[in-house]
Amino acid sequence: MGSIHNYWTTKPKVSFSWLANKILKLKDVVYPLIKLRLENGLSARFWHDNWSPLGNVATLLNAQSSRLGIPQQATVASLFRNGSWRLPPARSEQQLQLQAHLTTVNLTTEPDYFEWEIEGRISSKFSTGEVYHYLRGAHDEVNWATAVWTSYGIPRHNFHTWLVVLDRCPTRDRLLRWGLQVPPVCLLCNSFPETRNHLYFECEFAYNLWLKSSRRCSLTPSRNWPDALNQMITLPASRASKALRLLTLLAWQSTIYWTWNERNARLHSNSFRSADRLFRVVDLQIRNRIQSFRESNPRLSSSMMQTWFRLA
């Protein structure tokens, strides 16, 4: 965080990269989140660092018109000499508020330090998730969130399932809507137009793969995408059924992921696998995933593994 002081005063330039200028333009958004906690005041720049509860002092006191004889690079400590604050007499309500606050500040011998403060939550570490939710704003959680962002799931499967639920994968119907000249037929069955709903699971190939996976979870699968998604949303969430629910979601997401993987392999590599062969890939990946949390949660891992093998 040592260079953060310069961040507040550096302006975008044509010679900077697009990314650098983009970051610089976000200063007003970032500023309230990065707090400088005063200790000795030696590193806290009076005009620009976020050390005051009143906000940016340069904005508060309108430093563009007058800096009150205080240098731009002045530190907070440089304005405290012989036990008192050396500031010009207050001529505005804002100056009076700042000087009133300074009377409550007691400088120490410890170094100043930075903290993140997001909606009242203070942390010494950066959290991508917290910053993302802060910038995004409040949104109601969609009803399918727990079926997509699953605990003990495989991250890339979670992400791909999210894309499928939103219908953001470049299926051939979407490519055609974008104006690309591609054949409309499904790459897996060569019988019907390729759409999200066809792939999951009207397509005979994809359904056969899902059928093999769902049998291991004691589930009667649906071939209709909205119904299949609703099945996952409404899986029992009680403690007694936790293992089966997580296993079912893991199998469902793995099937979705490897169906798309096979589709792309046929398109880009001209390689073909049968549903039986692809299921062996799904089966191995699920077993490996279950084994991966045996140390952290042996009971859950054992329960999921027993269910998976019992119904084989």
18 lies in the same domain as 75: yes
Say if CB 35 and CB 114 are below 8 A apart. Answer: yes
Q: Are residues 78 and 156 in the same domain?
A: no
Q: Is residue 115 helix, strand or coil?
A: strand
Measured N-to-C along each axis, helices 204-215 and 275-292 cross at an angle, to the nearest 10 degrees, of 40
Residue 288 burial class via C-beta count within 10 angstroms: exposed 0-12, middle 13-18, buried 19 and up:
exposed
Domain around 186: 145-310
pLDDT for res 3:
67
Give 138-198 as a DSSP string.
Answer: --PPPTTHHHHS-TT--HHHHHHHHHHHTT-S--HHHHHHTT-----B-TTTSSSB--HHI
Q: Is the pLDDT of residue 15 over 90?
A: yes
41 and 112 fall within a common domain: yes
pLDDT at 311: 67
Q: 54 and 180 share a domain?
A: no
What's the mean pLDDT in 69-76? 92
- What's this model's pTM, rounded to 2 decimal places? 0.67
Both 176 and 295 in one domain: the answer is yes
Asked if residue 1 has pLDDT above 60, the reply is no
> Cβ(179)–Cβ(205) under 8 Å?
no
Mean pLDDT, the chain, integer: 93
What are the residues facing 84 on neighbouring strands? 81
Same domain as 253, residue 125: no
Asked whether the bond before 201 is cis by omega within 30 degrees of 0, the reply is yes
Provide the β-strand partners of residue 200: none
Mean pLDDT of 194-206: 98
Non-local CB neighbours of 51 within 8 Å, separated by 6+ positions: 35, 36, 37, 38, 44, 76, 112
Whether 164 has a pLDDT exceeding 70, the answer reads yes
- The pLDDT tens digits for 245-263 are 999 999 999 999 999 999 9
Gap between the Cα atoms of 134 and 34, Å rounded: 13
- Tokens for 38? 């005063």
**Same domain flag for 51 and 189:** no
The phi, psi pair for 35, rounded to 5°, reads: -100, 135
Locate tokens 């990269």: which residue?
Answer: 17
**What pLDDT, in 10s, does the model give residues 257-291?**
999 999 999 999 999 999 999 999 999 999 999 99
Q: Give the residue from 109, 136, 163 where a domain finishes.
A: 136
Backbone angles phi, psi at 293, to 5 degrees: -110, 25
Tell me which of 79, 104, 136 is where a domain ends: 136
Q: Which pLDDT value is given to residue 109?
A: 94
Whether the CB-CB separation of 148 and 154 falls below 8 Å is answered with no
* Number of CB atoms found within 10 A of residue 37's CB: 15
Instruction: DSSP letter for 199, please.
Output: I
21/129 same-domain check: yes
Residue 106, phi then psi, degrees to nearest 5: -120, 110
Contact 90, 99 (CB under 8 A): yes
Say if residue 220 is in the same domain as residue 256.
yes
Give 19-58 as a DSSP string: HHHHHHHTHHHHGGGEEEEPSS-SS-BTTTSS-STT--HH
Domain C-terminal end among 117, 136, 155: 136
pLDDT at 212 over 60: yes
Check whether residue 200 and residue 288 sit in a common domain: yes
- The answer, yes or no, to whether residue 72 has pLDDT greater than 50, is yes
* 109 and 149, same domain (yes or no): no
Q: Return the pLDDT at 270.
A: 95
Residues 75 and 15 in one domain: yes
State the Cα–Cα distance between residues 289 and 181, nearest whole angstrom.
40
User: How does DSSP classify residue 111?
Assistant: P
Name the domain count of the chain. Answer: 2
